[in-house]
Amino acid sequence: MSRPRIAVLGGAVAGLAAAERCRSFADVDLFERQSYDDKRVNCGEAINDVTLVPLAKTPENGFVNRVDGFDIEVYASTDRPPGSPALRVSRLGVEHGYITDRNVLERRWAERLADRGVGVHEGANVTKSRYRELVADYDYVIDATGQPALSWKVAGETDRYTGDLVALNADVRGDFADRDRYRVPRVTFEGYVGYWWCFYKGPDRANVGIGWAGDERPDDYVAELHAACDRADAPRPDREAIEFYTIPQGPSIDPRDVRPASNVFLVGDAAGIANRYQGEGICQAIRSSVLLGDLLDAGREAEYPRRLYRSMRGEYRLAALMRGIWETTGSPEVVAEVVAAVDGLTVEEVTREPWAVLGRIARRPGLVATVARRPAMLRRVVDAYADRWEYGETAV
């Protein structure tokens, strides 16, 4: 029996993971529009579960700093001098966490795939006409091109996506050796719907960035990043080194739309599945690709939209509720109390296990009362548990 032919569009982690899973039962070609030698990727460099990546965890493969957890700092506002005390600092643990050089990780993963028989095509910009040829020529096409997906661009229907998060970041050099905490990255909330971060890559290098999840966005993104670095006593990145990213506000597309044609499937950001609360999407992207590969291998690909949504539903709901507390109260003090409640949990629990978080919050009756008396928050609870999102009610 002949093996199916699969084209994977997009060579970042979602596409690499799809090619990795599918190569065992199919002939796979991966198309990446850039050269891996020239590719610069600074976003998504904190990977909370590196067991999902089939590479040795060495600096040569891009794994530069094994981390024990993340410190979550809450401040009353951005109007504060450097060195001001936080309202609260809590720590979330990770069992298999690394800060990575993602461009190195992706290049090494692509090399691994090429060594194992995957056709890795670098500098392959897939145009609309080329896309149609691939859909016709291959048994399956896996679209890992980000939000909005190339598949929906070709169809002229990018408005199927709703909501996004904006982030910008860059690597900086500095002396972090005297901070014995460089194995514990920092995430800072400062009164707006978003956060600043510093992910240490070692004693003299870090990735700094800032992101916004709410409707209010700054007029000058770079100036806001520089100001946040000043408040945190961190080096400012050079303007030309800063990268900008658009991240899905998951679920930012109807789950039924992750299969835009009978032989075309979306994974990762293209499927709109990043976390709407804190923007995390790397592990989610890999898991979506592995799930699709499992179903293709079993001949059950029709189940993919439903199975993907159900695998993410708990995370979607929890992220909606956590962000709702943030937006409906507008109170850094309330956010600080929520952060205090989750102290000691793992990132995995905070992201994917609603009852672990809600159980901690339930132990704080004052916090529950503050949140529960807000009608807007109650509407969010109902909408989240009725699966009502910006694109409408899903039926999967």
What are the domain boundaries of the chain? 5-306, 312-393
Q: Which fold has domain 5-306?
A: FAD/NAD(P)-binding domain (3.50.50)
End-to-end CA distance of the chain: 33
What is the reported pLDDT for 216? 84
Distances (CA, A) of 298 to 118, 293, 316: 20, 9, 27
Q: Kindly report, residue by residue over 255-265, the tens digit of the pLDDT.
A: 999 999 999 99
Q: What is the Cα–Cα distance from 72 to 342, expressed in whole angstroms?
A: 10
DSSP sequence for 148-217: SPHHHHHTT-GGG---EEEEEEEEEE---TT-TTTTS-EEEE-SSSEEEEEEEEETTEEEEEEEE-SS--
DSSP sequence for 301-343: GGGHHHHHHHHHHHHHHHHHHHHHHHHHH--HHHHHHHHHHTT
What is the reported pLDDT for 396? 58
Whether residue 252 contacts residue 390, with contact meaning beta carbons closer than 8 Å, is answered with yes
pLDDT above 60 (res 373): yes
CA-nearest of 183, 182, 177 to 67 is 183
Q: What is the Cα–Cα distance from 298 to 335, expressed in whole angstroms?
A: 44
Q: Kindly report, residue by residue over 53-91, the tens digit of the pLDDT.
A: 999 999 999 999 999 899 999 999 999 888 889 999 999
Whether residue 101 contacts residue 45, with contact meaning beta carbons closer than 8 Å, is answered with yes
- Which sign, positive or negative, has the C-alpha torsion 298, 304, 309, 310? negative
What is the reported pLDDT for 221? 95
CA-nearest of 279, 250, 242 to 267 is 250
> Residue type at 218?
P
Whether residue 147 contacts residue 246, with contact meaning beta carbons closer than 8 Å, is answered with yes
Q: Is 110 exposed, middle or buried (0-12, 13-18, 19+ CB in 10 A)?
A: buried
What is the reported pLDDT for 179? 57
E strands within the chain?
Answer: 5-9, 27-32, 46-47, 63-74, 88-100, 119-122, 140-143, 164-173, 186-189, 194-202, 205-212, 243-248, 264-266, 388-389, 392-393
Whether residue 256 contacts residue 268, with contact meaning beta carbons closer than 8 Å, is answered with no
pLDDT above 90 (res 181): no
CA-nearest of 219, 239, 207 to 42 is 207
Q: Kindly report, residue by residue over 191-238, the tens digit of the pLDDT.
A: 988 999 999 998 899 999 999 988 888 999 999 999 999 999 999 999
Adjacent-strand bridge partners of 28? 6
pLDDT band at 352 (very low <50, low <70, confident <90, very high): confident
pLDDT above 90 (res 279): no
**Across 82-104, average pLDDT:** 94
SS3 46: strand
Largest CA distance in the chain: 68
Structure tokens of 310? 């159900």
Q: What is the Cα–Cα distance from 59 to 62, expressed in whole angstroms?
A: 5
What is the reported pLDDT for 39? 75
What is the reported pLDDT for 296? 98
pTM beyond cutoff 0.75: yes
Q: What percent of the chain has pLDDT over 90?
A: 78
What is the reported pLDDT for 395? 53
pLDDT above 90 (res 361): yes
What is the reported pLDDT for 47? 95
